[in-house]
Every structure is written in C-alpha cells, then in structure tokens.
Amino acid sequence: MVALNFQTPDVYMQLNMGKFEYNCGSGYLLKPDFMRRPDRTFDPFSESPVDGVIAAHCSVRVISGQFLTDRKIGTYVEVEMYGLPTDTIRKEHKTKVIPANGLNPVYSEAPFVFRKVVLPELAVLRFAVYDENGKQLGQRILPLDGLQAGYRHISLRSDTNQTMVLAPTLFVHIVIKTYVPDELSGLVDALADPRAYLSEQKKRQEALAHMGVDDSDIVEVPAGKAAMTKGKVLQKTNGSAANLLSE
C-alpha cells in the first residue's frame, strides 16, 4: 500500500498518475510475472538481474522543444529514471539552458544513457521542462515498457497531469536495447553486423602484419585477470614481437 497526498501535485503524485495512465486510467495494473508466482522471491534492493527478467539499456537524446512557454525565457530539460532503487537515477541528466527561447528551443544534446535497467517493467522515465529560474513548465511520466524506440514527440502535461493550453512537446530520440555486459559487447556487435566485424578484423590483421606481428601470436585474456583486465596481450613467441598491452 502506498500513501499519497492528493492535495499536493508533487513528483510522487505525478509518478502515480503517469504509471496508471498507461492502462487507460482503469486504476489497475497487472503485476509482473515474477511478482505473481508463489515459487519466486523478489528483493527490490538487489542490483543483480531478476530471475527470468532481461535487463534493458536505454538512451534518450533531447533534440528540441515546441511551444514550451509563450514567454521569452530560458529553458532546460531534465530526464530521470524511477524504478527499483538500483534503477532510479535523478538529477544527473539535464540539458543546457537555451536562453530567451521558450517557443522552439533546440537542445541537440548528447544522449542521456541509462546503462542498465534491472527491471524494465517497473521503471518509468520522467521528462521535465524548467525555466531558467527552476520553475517547472511541464512534465511527462512514461513507463519504460510502453515506450517505442525512434524519433518521438512527447506531449507534456501540467503538474496535475492535465493537458496544457499550448500543447507543449519535446522532440526526442529514444533507443531501447537489451543490456549487454561489457565483456560480451564485442561478440554482440559481431553478431549484429558480421560484415563490419570481418572488415575490422581484416584491418587489424593488416596493421599487425605491417608491425611484423603474426595474428596467431595474439592470446585473448579473460576479463578479471589481475593487471590484464583490458585489451589483448601480444605474447612473445619467436622473439620478433614484444609483450604489448593494447586498449
């Protein structure tokens, strides 16, 4: 059970309204499968993946805003993630302030990356627009499992989650992928684009041959080895190649 102050339209009320809006405001949402099964236990404070649930990777690039305010004032955007304690990221991702333009500011920020979302079904993204004085101009709460990747216009709402007169929107680019540990990223890239991978391998072999190093001299070092956790080591086999560590 959750206690909320319905008289104060704060972030927690906005999260509640945004989450339950996903089901057409019916007032009910089905719990994730692992929370409904009696043979499973769930620790909300765990940082490890939940059994049977695939973690997600999400990035959001805020490109521009439309009709954020009719005043000639600076604006900026914050993007936050709420969910499990390990998934919650607040006050870390915000754009620069675009001065004197509340009508059509262009942010063109680098993507805000949420590298690992352990439980996507319970995670929500919060977009909030503020003026240069820190006053909120609009917000929107969107469940992560209801988002579609690509270029999207996000309609903003008021503090009470109501539509606004100017119908302000944010133009963003969203990428949602399966989370891949760092030690497996090379394998996944190779499977996703084998031609590019083979091309890179060929260039690498040519560069090594130019250095007088045979490709068979290279030994892969498993992640976690002390003092050799990154890169590849060129082992000395015939005296022609020195022991090299490359990033």
Instruction: Write the pLDDT tens digit of every residue in 198-237.
Output: 777 788 777 877 777 766 666 555 555 544 444 444 444 4
Q: Are residues 174 and 186 in the same domain?
A: no
Q: Are residues 88 and 207 in the same domain?
A: no
| β-sheet with 75-82: strand ranges across | 89-94, 75-82, 124-131, 136-143
* Model pLDDT, residue 216: 63
Count the domains in the chain: 2
pLDDT at 185 over 80: no
Model pTM score: 0.73
What tokens appear for 194 in the block?
A: 């084998």
Q: How confident is the model at residue 132 (pLDDT cuts 50, 70, 90)?
A: very high
Torsions phi, psi of 13, nearest 5? Answer: -65, -40
pLDDT at 76 over 50: yes
SS3 call for 28: coil
Q: Are residues 165 and 115 in the same domain?
A: yes
Tens-place pLDDT, residues 8-40? 889 989 998 888 888 777 888 888 888 888 887
What tokens appear for 22 in the block?
A: 């996903």
Q: Are residues 24 and 106 in the same domain?
A: yes
CATH for 77: 2.60.40.150
Q: Are residues 78 and 152 in the same domain?
A: yes
Q: Are residues 77 and 163 in the same domain?
A: yes
Tens-place pLDDT, residues 99-127? 999 999 999 889 999 998 988 989 999 99
Q: Are residues 150 and 200 in the same domain?
A: no
pLDDT at 180 over 60: yes
Q: Are residues 133 and 30 in the same domain?
A: yes
Q: Say which residue, 208 or 68, is predicted with more confidence.
A: 68
Domain of residue 93, residue span: 11-37+52-178
Task: Give a three-class secondary structure readout of 173-198.
Answer: EEEEEECCCHHHHHHHHHHHCHHHHH
